[in-house]
Amino acid sequence: MEVNRRSFLATAALAAPAAFAGTDVSAAPSGKPLRVCVFSDIHYHPGVWTNTENTSFLEKIMARAERERCDMMIHLGDFMHGVRSPAQKAFLKLYNDFKIPGYHILGNHDQDGNPYKETCEAYRMPDGHYTFDKGGFRFVVADPNYFCNGPGKFIHHGSGNYFKRGKGSTINWIPPEQLEWMRATIVGSPYPCVVLSHQSFERAHCAPVMNKKDVQAIFNEANAKKPGTVRLVMNGHLHMDNLRVLDNILYWDVNSANYQYFAKAHSRYPADYVKTHRGAPHNIGWKEPLSAILTLWPNGRIKIEGAKSDWLFGVSPEDAGYPAYDEDGRETLPVIKSADMTFAYSGVRP
């Protein structure tokens, strides 16, 4: 299939020695690596989205994490649309109580059905933004789920308020206090940092964080003081797979575990399926769940073992009349690319 061939070529291109400035893909690893199972935007919503009628997608990803002996798991937001029904509570419990510690990042939809503090409590998060140190790395969880209704008026998403926000409001802000917290947490970190967020800090289009330049300035300030402090910045949200090196930092757009969303409905899925998944006409689903195994070495090596699936019911975006590429030129594909690269900091080869 054309799509699979393209996916393979994309994977092969990234797995081969890359011409990234400041990288050395041949360097041998040293020190103990940390292994993380990464997935995003699983959007558990039974009766609505594709592949959420049961827990099988989540279970397959957890089984991979176990098989790959991961130290931890990260979900990059939009885990579900509220924690109210017994089914939602059971889905969350499955992940929260798993033997491998799993971390949450709040997405724009996670608090659709609850106040945001209630969501944090259910997700066992101290707040929307928080930090933890693990295996010699500092993980900094940012929370841009604020809309702005005028200068200084930042309101956190909660109980679906974001659907009723005012006409002049703008979305995806890191409020000033959180920026200060990020600066203190990152610049003062004794460990290399991995920054996690649902929305993108690097995209030009498709609703990135509004004040992303302020956030990038913090990363660059930290790296100017101590090279290699911010190494990897990851996000979900757009259900796309992309790797970009900017200012010697790897920015990773992590694909959805489940599907791509399109506002216009299509009619390519079987009528029986649509009866039990009423949002499916807005989805182009994957056949199998997507996740990645991320391995981080202290010396600057970053390895991503991705995954490749196929289209649910064989229907691609093009088959359903949608554009394959978004405004940033990123393509909807049932793929997370693999990559293996080692970054050099201060011009010193590891």
The contact set with Fe ion (CB under 5 A) reads 78, 107-108, 237
Nearest Cα to Cα of residue 124 among 143, 100, 105, 137: 105
Nearer to Fe ion, 108 or 295 (CB): 108
Nearer to Fe ion, 107 or 128 (CB): 107
Q: Find tokens 């360097």 and name the residue.
A: 27
* Distance (Å, whole) CA 190 – CA 168: 41
Nearer to Fe ion, 122 or 344 (CB): 122
Nearer to Fe ion, 107 or 300 (CB): 107
Q: Find tokens 């200012």 and name the residue.
A: 247
Partner residues linked to 80 by β-bridges: 44
In the complex, the smallest distance separating the C-beta of residue 123 from Fe ion, rounded to whole angstroms, is 15
In the complex, the smallest distance separating the C-beta of residue 109 from Fe ion, rounded to whole angstroms, is 6
CB 326 within 8 A of CB 72: no
In the complex, the smallest distance separating the C-beta of residue 108 from Fe ion, rounded to whole angstroms, is 5
In the complex, the smallest distance separating the C-beta of residue 203 from Fe ion, rounded to whole angstroms, is 13
Phi/psi of residue 237, nearest 5 degrees: 85, -50
Q: Dihedral sign, CA of 98, 103, 107, 110?
A: positive
Closest residue to Fe ion using C-beta atoms: 237
In the complex, the smallest distance separating the C-beta of residue 78 from Fe ion, rounded to whole angstroms, is 4
Nearer to Fe ion, 107 or 306 (CB): 107
Non-local CB neighbours of 235 within 8 Å, separated by 6+ positions: 76, 196, 197, 198, 199, 200, 201, 251, 252, 253, 254
